[in-house]
A and B are shown apart, each in its own frame.
Chain A
Amino acid sequence: MNNELLNELTFFVLAVFVGIEVISKVPTMLHTPLMSGTNAIHGIILVGALLIAAGANSPVNVILGFLAVVLATTNVVGGFVVTDRMLEMFKGRQAQPKTPEAAKSK
């Protein structure tokens, strides 16, 4: 086993523990946004897609690279935008504007 692989294994194992530890405190109500947020984070595959697409020099690599970039960008952009859409709705009572219906119903 070479040194680089050992380093990578170390990162991998530590990341497993951090990943479990960091979400064990998340309340149920945030599970959907959390799933969506982690979904956006694995959009990091776009880095990999860029690495293979940029140097594409054969028809096979052009096709693979293009598809990978499209899919990965969809993942990362869609993931963060849809998570933000969910989270912008979590507002406290104090932040709640007085709605016209509430005023009328007196």
Chain B
Amino acid sequence: MTTVLTLAYLLAAVLFILGLRQLSSPRTARNGNYTAAAGMVIALGATVPQLHFTSAGAIIVLVGVIVGAAVGTVGARQVKMTAIPQMVALFNGAGGGAAALVAVAELLKFGSHPPFSEAFPSVFSIVIGSVSFAGSIIAFAKLQELMTGTPITYPGQQLVNGLIAAAIIGFVIAVLAIASIPFSFLSLMLLALILGVAFVLPIGGADMPVVISLLNAFTGLAVAASGFTLNNFALIVAGTLVGASGSLLTKLMSDAMGRSLGNVLFGAFGQVRAGAGAGAAGKETRTVRTSSIEDLATLLAYSRRVIVVPGYGLAVAQAQHAVRELAELLEKKGVEVSYAIHPVAGRMPGHMNVLLAEANVPYEQLKEMDEINDEFKDADVVLVVGANDVVNPAARTSPGSPIYGMPILNADQAKNIVFLKRSMRPGFAGIDNDLLYDPKTIMLFGDAKDSLTKLVNAVKAA
């Protein structure tokens, strides 16, 4: 490595770290992304002059970069805000696949007996990168609803997954200890791809973001391992940064749901649903309260404090602009409006903030759960727009429920609770919500955007 290249990589590493830090405040976050991108440009710009191109190499690099840049730009520009989680999964899978391929190509150069210090990180990168690639594709397919989003389980599933993992470990030991013929890498890659699919299949519902975050950390580690193979400082440092921060982020996400990471990964979310459902039999006979738009408008317009609880349904209905309009109108009438953002509202932590920010809701009005949970008892109206699981009291009261122990928003403590929902259908977690049947609760059925637009007009008249 030349001095210039080493210094360029050092500068890139510093910029990545600074970029991550700037991402920690809403005011500097956007610059943080530019800072990290600048680091990337420097690392790439310093690498290119060092390359010795063969004629085939020049062509594949040129065409490859053009194709990849086109796919990446179009994908990122076209994606709807609601589909961002699966887009991140897809880009992450691409990175994992690339890391595995780089490791394979590098290892092939060493012939049949690579030194251990090269073979070990390469094999690690091949396995982890392939798991991340296949797992991310399944996560994408689930969230994009190309396949069922619910957990896919069968008896003995953990045993089968365990056996695949054991086979991989056995294979790895054989490859490292005995001989490293090219075909063994292909078999290893194939096994790892199968494990990636098998590992994500039983995970579903609200757990997908945690899995995407974990796979993101996996890709980081695979990249770092490829860095060890190539003896490349930039790959080691950047990959490790992502591996470490991604692991912590994964833990923060599962903590926000009140569950351990092990439970998320191996608990097959929703498996206990049958048991919980049995205890809730006879629910169908219970009645819910509805109301006219005008009555609701009056209730809202003469409240002192209104708290909006936005959920994924708001995103699906593209109702973020309508809810902001309603909030502005109420504020003009002297109502204090804030938004209570559950850590896992939407489909990823921070997802709701992104959507509401898109509609120009000032982020000062967005309150995190811990900040606002004590204020619900003073709220006159809680307006739950397309959310369900995050206000489900079963998380506090019913130990049999799959969401038991998840911290929830104390919407049930408000004087009135208004649900804007399409139907009585349960939320993402697939669990019935007792709060819908509460005497303080008013249901307003219909598309969230339609309902909000009608409410806006009615409040203007009130």
Contacts and interface: CB of A to CB of B under 8 A. Distances in A.
A22 B325 contact: no
B98 A45 contact: yes
Contact of B20 (A23, A67, A85): A23
Given A35-B216, A66-B60, A74 B72 contact: yes
Contacts of B349: 28, 31-32
B240 to A, nearest CB: 4
B457 to A, nearest CB: 10
Contacts of A71: 68, 94-95, 97-98, 101
B77 A85 contact: yes
A93 to B, nearest CB: 4
In this complex, the interface size class of chain B, counting residues with CB under 8 Å from chain A, is 35 or more
B370 to A, nearest CB: 9
Interface in B287-311: none
A21 B395 CA distance: 31
Nearest to B346: A32
Contact of A55 (B17, B53, B64): B53
Nearest to A99: B360
Contacts of B139: none
B55 to A, nearest CB: 10
A74 B75 contact: yes
Given A60-B108, A78-B75, A32 B350 contact: yes
Contacts of A17: 244
B202 interface: no
B348 interface: yes
Interface string A70-106: 1111111111111111111111110011010110011
Given A15-B241, A82-B79, A91-B360, A54 B20 contact: no
A69 B60 contact: yes
Contact of A2 (B29, B117, B230, B357): B117
In this complex, the interface size class of chain A, counting residues with CB under 8 Å from chain B, is 35 or more
Contacts of B425: none
B67 A70 contact: yes
B36 A105 contact: no
Nearest to B225: A12
Contacts of A48: 98-99, 102, 106, 223, 226-227, 230, 232, 235
Given A47-B232, A87-B29, A16 B244 contact: yes
A62 to B, nearest CB: 5
Interface in B82-123: 84-85, 87-88, 90-92, 94-95, 97-99, 101-102, 104-106, 108, 117
Interface stretch (B152-160, B245-253, B257-265, B413-421): B245-253
B37 A80 contact: yes
B95 to A, nearest CB: 4
Interface in B378-398: none
B249 A31 contact: yes
B102 A77 contact: no
Contact of A12 (B34, B236, B253): B236
Q: B interface, by DSSP: helix, strand, loop or mixed? A: helix
Contacts of A29: 26, 341, 350, 353, 363, 366, 368
B40 A80 contact: yes
Contact of A72 (B19, B98, B242, B348): B98
B61 A53 contact: yes
- Chain B CB count within 10 A is highest, among A27, A47, A56, for A47
Contacts of A69: 60-61, 64-65, 68, 98
Contact of B91 (A34, A50, A75): A75
A45 B95 contact: yes
A92 B357 CA distance: 9
A83 B75 CA distance: 12
Contacts of B98: 45-46, 48-49, 67-69, 71-72, 75
B332 A105 contact: yes
Contacts of A42: 92, 95, 99, 216, 219-220, 223, 238-239, 242
Contacts of A73: 64-65, 67-69, 72
B51 A55 contact: yes
A35 B52 CA distance: 34
A48 B234 CA distance: 9
B235 to A, nearest CB: 5
14 contacts: A30-B353, A32-B348, A38-B242, A45-B239, A50-B44, A53-B60, A61-B105, A65-B61, A67-B97, A68-B105, A71-B101, A74-B75, A79-B72, A89-B354
Interface of B: 12, 16-17, 19-21, 23-27, 29-30, 32-34, 36-37, 39-40, 43-44, 47-48, 51-54, 56-58, 60-61, 63-65, 67-69, 71-73, 75-77, 79, 84-85, 87-88, 90-92, 94-95, 97-99, 101-102, 104-106, 108, 117, 212-213, 216, 219-220, 223-224, 226-228, 230-249, 252-253, 256, 325, 328-329, 332, 341, 343, 348-351, 353-354, 357-358, 360, 362-364, 366, 368, 460
Closest 9 CB pairs of A and B: A73-B68, A19-B244, A69-B64, A78-B72, A77-B72, A15-B240, A31-B349, A81-B76, A93-B362
Given A23-B24, A50-B48, A93-B364, 20 more contacts: A18-B241, A19-B20, A19-B243, A22-B24, A29-B363, A32-B88, A36-B88, A37-B23, A39-B216, A44-B234, A46-B98, A50-B47, A53-B57, A54-B53, A54-B57, A56-B56, A70-B68, A73-B68, A93-B362, A101-B325
